Structures are given as structure tokens and as C-alpha cells.
Amino acid sequence: MNKKKLFAVPFVLINSVVILAALFKGLQISLGYYPLIGLNQLTLANYRQVLSDPFFQKSLGYSCYLALTATFLSLLLGIGIAFLLLKVKSSWLHKIISLPISLPHIIVALMIMQLIGQSGIISRVCFQLGLIKEIGQFPLLIHDSGGFGIIMVFLYKEIPYVAVTTFAILQQLQLGYIEVAKNLGASTLRIFFTVILPMLQKTLITLFIILFCFTFASFEVPYLLGNPSNQTVALTAYDLFTQADLTTRPQAFALNLVMSGICLVITVVALTISRILPGGRRIS
């Protein structure tokens, strides 16, 4: 073991202990062992109650919709911008695109709220230009049932992240294969799907896992910009945890572990698919 890995051991051990202790405590409470309120028997009732609740099922569908939409759009647009950065050799363009990565999600949420809210900047500009007769005529883009504002925040943050990460990988790839494919008469579309995409596949799968899990379990953005009738799973767990009735807390912990389980399943499925696709196959 080299010195760099040796120095990382204390950090890994401390974080592992904290995470495993929190996971064990959460699992314990979710299984009904919560002596603080007189619950001393292990049971799966909390999981059954959470999974069979229609409101949870609706929250699960809404969370998946937000996560998948934001993730796929971020990957698609981020790859496009990465190729733009590869062709346009401009350090200023790179800095401008990288800027949103440094901003916290809560700051971006407040920016989007001030920009596209019914009383926001765009609404007031439209009113001044006579495009709308009153502020209330501006489309509801914040606190709407479709989560437009939430998706906009995720796109603003995630597209640059995908672009910068993919750009760094593109710079390291052996682009000579592309020239060979061009000389053999392959079209641009065929080159992308048979040469470039397999080389980027592992990076894109990793980005998909990171972005999906983050957006799926995100709390602050849906809390600020979401619609009360369409809650995400994270908001549902928060509501259960903060109720005055402490007997709902085991359900909140069960819901959090269900979220973690879904993220784990998505990760395993994505990695399995990646191994099956051409970019993940080992050439013997």
C-alpha cells in the first residue's frame, strides 16, 4: 500500500463508522424498535404501510419523473456542449459554462424563482411590453404540477457538470479512431454511435447514476419550488418526520431506506446494462 492510500485510511474509517452507525440506527427505527416512544418489537408494518400508501406511490412516480427527465436532458444537452467546447478553443467559454457548478442548488432555486415566477423578472418585462395585461396572466412555471421550475434548476446545475466532465474525457480519448472511421466512409451518426459513444459509455453511466440518485432524493429544490399536491418522496419523508406525532417517525425512516434501496437498484441495473453494451465488454 502506497503512502497516499495509507493517508486515506483514517478518513475512510471515520466516515464508514458514521455512515454505518446512522444506517443501523435508521434500520432499527424503521423496523419498529423505537424505545423513546414505547416501541420495542421488530416489525415490517412500517414498510408495508409506506409501500401500500397511495400518496407514497404518487410521490414515487413524481420523483422518478423529475429525476429521469432532468437526468436524460442533462446528459443529452451536456454531451452536445462538450463537443462544442472541443471544437471552440475558448477558455472564457469554458469558464462561463463551468460557473453554475460552483453555485449551491438553493441559490439557483431562488434565482429561478425570481426569474420565471409569476411576479418575477420575465413576468414584469412581459407586462411592461404589453404582452400580458396583468401579472396573473403569466404562465405558472413555479409551484406547478409539472415541476417545470424544479427541472430548470437541475438542468442549470447538471448540464454544465456533464459538459465539463465529458469534455475532460473527450480530450483524453484516442480520436484517431474517428479519423479511421471517416476514411472508411462512415457517416457522422454512425461514428458517434459506434466509435465515440462506446468510448464515453462508462463515464455516461457513472454520470447517470450520480445525477439520478441526487435528483431523486433531492429535498431543498422541490421544497422551495414544488407543488403541495405533488410531493417528492423526500418531502413526504420530511413531513412524516416533522409531525408532532412521534409514531410517524418509524415510517419516515422506512421511507428513507426505501429511497436508498431504489437508488441502489438503479445503480446495479445501470452498471449491469453498461457491462452488456459494447463499451463495457472486455475484448479477450
pLDDT greater at residue 95 or residue 160: 160
| pLDDT at residue 282, as a whole number | 53
**Which of 10-24, 131-145, 184-198, 259-273 has the highest average model confidence (pLDDT)?**
259-273
Q: What SS3 string covers 43-56?
A: CCHHHHHHHHCHHH
Q: Where are the alpha helices (DSSP H) in 217-279?
A: 220-225, 233-242, 249-276
| pLDDT at residue 156, as a whole number | 94
pLDDT greater at residue 191 or residue 125: 125
Is 22 exposed, middle or buried (CB count within 10 Å of its CB: 0-12, 13-18, 19+)?
exposed
Q: Determine which helix (DSSP H) or strand (DSSP E) holds 34, and give its type and residue range.
A: strand 33-34
Q: Determine which helix (DSSP H) or strand (DSSP E) holds 58, and give its type and residue range.
A: helix 54-87
Distances (CA, A) of 4 to 7, 10, 17, 87: 5, 12, 21, 36
Question: Do the Cβ atoms of 200 and 280 come closer than 8 Å?
Answer: no
Residues of the chain above pLDDT 70, percent: 95
| pLDDT at residue 139, as a whole number | 86
pTM: 0.85
d(CA 220, CA 222): 6
| pLDDT at residue 267, as a whole number | 94
249's grid cell: 417517525
Superfamily (CATH H level) for 43-279: MetI-like (1.10.3720.10)
Owner of C-alpha cell 423578472: 121
Query: What's the mean per-residue pLDDT of the chain?
Result: 85
Q: Determine which helix (DSSP H) or strand (DSSP E) holds 215, and give its type and residue range.
A: helix 197-216
Is the predicted pLDDT of residue 21 greater than 60, yes or no?
yes
pLDDT tens digits for range 61-87? 999 999 999 999 999 999 999 988 888
Of 241, 211, 229, nearest in space to 62 by CA? 229
Other residues' Cβ atoms within 10 Å of the Cβ of residue 226:
21
156's grid cell: 442549470
60's grid cell: 414515487
Is the predicted pLDDT of residue 150 greater than 50, yes or no?
yes
Of 166, 158, 247, 153, nearest in space to 203 by CA? 166
Secondary structure E strands in 35-182: 39-40
d(CA 179, CA 198): 16
* Average pLDDT of the segment spanning 23-38: 84
Q: How confident is the model at residue 221 (pLDDT cuts 50, 70, 90)?
A: very high
| pLDDT at residue 281, as a whole number | 58
Owner of C-alpha cell 418585462: 125
| pLDDT at residue 144, as a whole number | 86
| pLDDT at residue 283, as a whole number | 44
Residues of the chain above pLDDT 90, percent: 29
Is the predicted pLDDT of residue 121 greater than 70, yes or no?
yes
Q: How confident is the model at residue 174 (pLDDT cuts 50, 70, 90)?
A: low
